A and B are shown apart, each in its own frame.
Chain A
C-alpha cells in the first residue's frame, strides 16, 4: 500500500481528497500535515527514526507558517528528502505559481477538481508519480 503525505490546511479539502481517493479505490495510507512546518517536522522525525518516508508528498500552496512553495524548495534542497516525489495540489491556476513550482522541482502540478468525478485523473497522476519515484 502506498504511503502519502497530504499537506493542506483546509480540512474540507483534505476530506474531499480522501473522498475522491476512496471513490477511485486508491489504496493508500494518507498522513496529513496542516502546514509546511508540520510536514517538515513529520518527515525529518521519520528520517531520524529511520522510519519509512512517504512515497509522495502532495502539498497545497497557500498555507500558514511555511507555505507550499517554501516547503517544496526545502524538500528539494534537502539531500535527505529530495528523493520524495512531490505533487503540488492547489486550486490556483496562476501562471506564476505553476512556473515557480516547476522551477523549484515539483514533479506534478495538479489543480483541485470541482467534481469528485475528476479525482480519477488526479489518482492516475499520483499513481504515476509513485511508480517512477527515485530511489532513496
Chain B
C-alpha cells in the first residue's frame, strides 16, 4: 500500500514539468496562500489523509465542525468521522476507492462529531497526486448542511403531508413552469391528465381533452399564461380516462408572478375528478324538475278544485236564494192579503220571518262577494282614488240626505292597482265610516294619503263610534263583528273583503281607534313581499 505524508510534501522537491511551472511558482511565492484561503472558507472543512486514510491535515473549520483539535485527530483514520452504520457497510473505504477510480466523488451523508452528534454534510473527495501522478493521499472537503437539511426535511414533510391530503381527497396538484413550458404533476394529477409523469407540456395534456372542450380550454390556458387571468381560473371539461371513456374534471389555476409584470412565472393548480359530482348535479336537477312538475300539477289540481268550489258556491247560493226568496215573498203575500185575518202577533211573526230572510240574502251576497274578490284576476293600472272616493261619497249622501256629514277628500290621490277591487275596498271603508258615524248628529269623514319617506299610506278616517283597540285583531275576520247588530247593521264581511283586496295588492291594512272618538283605517299597496 502507498504511504504518504502530505505534511512533509514539498512541491518544490519534485521534478517539475514545464506546464506546471506557473502553479508551482505560486505555491512557492505564497506558501500560506491556499491554506489561508481555505481557512477563511469557514463553511468548508478541509481534511487530507494519506493513502491509508489516516488524517494528515485538519483545517480550522474542520475543528469547529467536528469538535476535534488537530492534535486529537491527526494520525487517526478518517473513518472516525463516519457513522458506525456506514463503516459497517464499508462506505467510508468505498468513498475513497471511488474517488481514486473516478477522480472525484461527492455525496451527502451523515457524519459524526466528537461529541457523537450527527451532521448532515455535503462532501467532495479526490485523490491528491504528486507531480508524477502518484497518489499521495486524499483531500476531503466537507460542508455542514444540517440546518438546511432540517429545513428541507420540514418542507418536504409538509409538501408530503399536503400531497397526501390532496391525494386522499382525490385532488391532484400541478405546477406549470411558464418559461420551460412544462408541467410538474402529482401522481394523481398525472393519472387524471392521462400522463405518464411530469415533464410534459400543454400539448400532451390537451391531446387527452375531449375534442369539444379543446378550444375552450386552450383559450383559457393561453389567457392564463399570457397573464390575462389575474385571479386564476376554474375550468370544467372532459378528459380521456385510461379505459378510453371520458371523465369530467375540474381544474383550478392560480398564477404566480415574480412582481416584474403581468405574465406569471408559474401557474399552480389542482385537478379533481367531478364525474360523480356532475352526475349527482344532473340527478338533482332532474329531481327538482320532477318536483316542479309535481308542484305545477298539484297547483293545477288545486286551482281546478278551487274553481269547482267557486262554482259550487255560486250554484249553492243560487239554490239557497230561491227558496229564501219564496219564503219572504209568500210571507209578504200573506201579510197583504190576510191583514184582517191575522192577529197582530201573527203579523209580527211574519214580519220577523221576512227580516230574517233579508238578512240571509245579504249573508249569501257577501259570501259571494268575498269569494269573487279573492278569485278575480288582478289588474295593475293607475286608479284615481280621489275620484272613486268622491263618487262613493255622492252615493252615500244621496242614499241618506238627512245626515249631516262633512266628507273631505284629498285631491289627486292615485294608486296603481285593480280599480274595480280598490273601488270595492274604498266603498266598504267609506260605507263603514258612514255607518259608524250614524249615531252622531254631525260627522266628518276624511280620505287621503300620507306620504312620508316611504310608499303612500292611504287612510279613511271618521269621528264615529270607533272601537276598542283590544279587539282590533278581530276587525278583518269575515263574519266577525265588534258591535251588536241592533246598533249597526251588517254581516261583518265588509272589512274582511277590504283586507283581502289589500292583501291581494301585497299591501297591509290596520286601524287605530278609540271608543266614541272615531276610527282611522290605513292601508298600503305593493309594500309587502309576495
Contacts and interface: CB of A to CB of B under 8 A. Distances in A.
B318 interface: yes
Interface string B119-160: 000000000000000000000000000000000000000000
B332 A115 contact: yes
Contact of A114 (B318, B324, B333, B368): B324
A109 B40 CA distance: 123
B314 A114 contact: no
Interface of B: 314, 318, 321-322, 324-326, 328-330, 332-333, 336, 354, 357-358, 361, 368
Contacts, number: 45
Nearest to A112: B325
A42 B329 CA distance: 29
Given A114-B357, A114-B358, A91 B325 contact: yes
Closest 7 CB pairs of A and B: A116-B332, A114-B325, A16-B329, A12-B326, A91-B321, A92-B318, A114-B328
Contacts of B325: 16, 91, 112-114
Contacts of A112: 322, 325
B322 A117 contact: no
B315 to A, nearest CB: 8
B333 A116 contact: yes
A10 interface: yes
Interface of A: 10, 12-13, 16, 19-20, 23, 91-94, 112-117
A23 B326 CA distance: 16
Contact of A16 (B314, B318, B326, B361): B326
Contacts of A10: 322
A115 B329 contact: yes
A12 B368 CA distance: 25
B457 to A, nearest CB: 33
Given A10-B322, A94-B314, A114 B329 contact: yes
Given A19-B333, A94-B314, A114-B328, 8 more contacts: A12-B330, A16-B326, A23-B336, A92-B314, A94-B318, A112-B322, A114-B358, A115-B354
B164 to A, nearest CB: 75
A115 to B, nearest CB: 6
Nearest to B333: A19
B66 to A, nearest CB: 110
A8 B369 CA distance: 27
A94 B328 CA distance: 22
A37 B179 CA distance: 99
Contacts of B318: 91-92, 94
Contacts of A92: 314, 318
A116 B326 CA distance: 10
Contacts of B368: 93
A114 B322 CA distance: 9
Which of B333, B354, B357: most chain A Cβ within 10 A? B333
